[in-house]
Amino acid sequence: MKKCFVVCPIGADNSSERAQSDSLLKYILEPVLNEFDFEVIRADKINSPSIITDDILKHLNESELVICDMSSHNPNVFYELGYRHAINKTCITMVHKDESIPFDLSQHRTIKYSKDIDDVEKAKNHLSEMLRTYENDGYNESDISTNNNQTSNGELLRHLIDIKSEVSDLKESLNNRPSSEIPNEAIAPLMTMMFEDPDKFQKVMSIAQEFN
């Protein structure tokens, strides 16, 4: 059976993020993917004694399809999306209809969804159309457009590993500032830089560290 690995914000038990991801899985992804004979896998539902990061990398590398929900602008989701993109394998992106995409995926179709019944049906139909296309063309390569100056896959993967660590440190630093709430709009430029110019991003992070 083909495998579809779902990358999404998990959040804590009973959190709004978990509720949204569970609804997406139950009412949109599973009904459609089951029709196309996919086993649907999400990281928090993996029953394995191995380290969860190893399981995630295994599924990112080996699954015929990966679906990434970019809602909430979760750094881990963008890291895993970037990894899948770097190995040039099929990935479908989704986002809640009320949220923006924080970096340039204008050449890549993104499925919008919400809890609204009409939006659920539209998302299911859109996903079905994309899966039918992949069934005909094969689940081999990503359809995210790249340019001639794209960093080589090996270099990009190394950048992603370093960037994930930097973003985690940045998030922790921001969370430790009780008097400020940082909106998503403030994070978006960093996300854009992170994927478009990793070297510049790392320089910015190095400068920021000098003021901490």
Whether pLDDT at 103 is above 60: no
Rounded to 10 degrees, the C-alpha dihedral 89/69/21/4 comes to -10
Cα 9-15-16 angle, rounded to 5 deg: 70
Whether pLDDT at 119 is above 90: yes
Q: What is the pLDDT of residue 114?
A: 97
Fill in the DSSP letter of residue 104: -
Highest-scoring range by mean pLDDT, 42-46, 107-111, 192-196: 42-46
Question: Mean pLDDT across the stretch 160-183?
Answer: 56
Whether pLDDT at 147 is above 50: no
Q: Do residues 88 and 126 touch, judged by C-beta distance below 8 A?
A: no
Partners of 65 in the β-ladder: 4
Q: Do residues 93 and 70 touch, judged by C-beta distance below 8 A?
A: yes
Give the global pTM.
0.69
Q: Do residues 136 and 115 touch, judged by C-beta distance below 8 A?
A: no
Across 88-116, b (16+ Cβ under 10 Å) vs e yields: ebbbbbbbbeeeebbbebeeeeebebbee
